[in-house]
Amino acid sequence: MSSHHTDPILEIIASHQKAIALHDVCARVCFLATVAADGSARVRVMNLNGISGRCFELHCSEQSEKWQQLLHNPAYELLLWWPSVARQYRIRGELKIMPQFLVEKSWSQAPYSFKLLDRFYQEYQPLGSQLDSQQVLLEGLNNLKRKYPNPQDVPPPSHLRGFYCQACWIEALYIDKLRIHQRHCYSYTDNSWHHELLVP
């Protein structure tokens, strides 16, 4: 073990900014794996809403399966893969629930179409429930558009949730063109990051 390496979060933030500048299609998303009640694995794409401190900010609905899974078992792995900068990061740690006023503040900046869909979950049918046809969804969204013509005046639905994946373990894989990759493992103990170089 050594601690000669800098904070991996700073490195992730630098890679993230580079990926955004390079218009990486994956720059604004992440892959979150959770554990279902029966112990089987689940994984899905999510928007990566921000990185600060050791925290990666994600948003979802309390109606979603992932939220129920996380309440039942807070174990997760968060994967970041940014091809433009040839970096993969795997992140594990604690789950922290985001204060609701911050969730709603962030949601107020969301695109109009996202807001209407979130209202649909509240006023028509919950997320993941069976739809009789796509037309039912489109009609509901049109009704909501008439009900809330101004994007700024769409009220936040009560099912919005946000959480932070607070990292205490990070594995960074730097992909090299010559296929001599670098694999760095960081663990957070005693208030600092400790580094190990692994066989890639």
Q: Which positions touch ligand FMN (CB under 6 A)?
A: 29, 42, 44-47, 59-60, 64-66, 128
Buried b (16+ CB within 10 A) or exposed e, 67-77: bebbeeebebb
User: What CA–CA distance (Å, rounded) separates 170 from 29?
Assistant: 17
CB of 11 or CB of 57, closer to ligand FMN: 57
CB of 46 or CB of 141, closer to ligand FMN: 46
Provide the CA 183 distance to its chain's centre, in angstroms.
23
Buried b (16+ CB within 10 A) or exposed e, 158-167: ebbbbbbbbb
Smallest separation, CB 127 to ligand FMN (Å): 7
CB of 64 or CB of 122, closer to ligand FMN: 64
Smallest separation, CB 170 to ligand FMN (Å): 21
Q: Which residues contact 16 (CB under 8 A, 6 or more apart)?
A: 27, 51, 80, 82
3 state SS of 119: helix
Smallest separation, CB 58 to ligand FMN (Å): 6
Which conformational region is residue 46 in: left (phi greater than 0), alpha (psi within -120 to 50 degrees), or beta? beta
CB of 163 or CB of 188, closer to ligand FMN: 163
Smallest separation, CB 186 to ligand FMN (Å): 25
CB of 47 or CB of 187, closer to ligand FMN: 47
Smallest separation, CB 45 to ligand FMN (Å): 4
Smallest separation, CB 8 to ligand FMN (Å): 23
* CA distances in angstroms from 33 to 2, 75, 121, listed in the order given: 29, 9, 23
CB of 9 or CB of 60, closer to ligand FMN: 60
Residue type, 110: A
Residue type, 140: G
